[in-house]
Amino acid sequence: MTIPKQPDGGQKAYREAVSMEVPALVEALCDLLGLRLVAQIGAVRETRAVRQWIAHERAPSAPTVRRLRDTYQIAHSLSESCNPEVVQAWFDAMNPMLGDSSPARLLRDGEGDETPLRVLAAARDFASGSA
């Protein structure tokens, strides 16, 4: 009988990202990135909307939820090897691996599956010290 190995950070981040209810997901993402970055990635103008998502007073659209789940997976993976200030700075800063765009902006404006994959690859490179 084979004993399953403990999930690595990427698997754990993925499992959490897809299994959390939206309010818990948003709250956890705010803990990792802060209200301002979550609002930016969620494409809302005010952090009040993010607080309303957490409080069950308002629900983000389905495309926004997908972006937030992708973002959580990436942020959680980074947080395994970087402190919160570094994770926040990484999402907010221009990134040469991403055409000098910030990951937060790309996640907000990107369409399709390619953008989160590019951002995740850049995060993994950064966390491994390759970037």
pLDDT digits (tens, 9 = 90+) for 36-91: 999 999 999 999 999 999 999 999 999 999 999 999 999 999 999 999 999 999 99
Residue 119 domain-assigned (yes or no): yes
Residue 2 domain-assigned (yes or no): no
- Whole-prediction pTM value? 0.88
Is residue 4's pLDDT more than 60? no
Residue 4 domain-assigned (yes or no): no
Residue 78 domain-assigned (yes or no): yes
Residue 88 domain-assigned (yes or no): yes
Residue 85 domain-assigned (yes or no): yes
Predicted confidence at residue 130, as pLDDT, reads: 62
Residue 42 domain-assigned (yes or no): yes
Residue 1 domain-assigned (yes or no): no
> Which structural domain, as residue segments, surrounds residue 114?
9-128
**Structural domains counted in the chain:** 1
Taking the C-alpha atoms of residue 80 and residue 59, their distance in angstroms, rounded to an integer, is 29
| Mean pLDDT value of segment 105-126 | 94
In whole numbers, what is the pLDDT of the chain averaged over residues?
Answer: 91
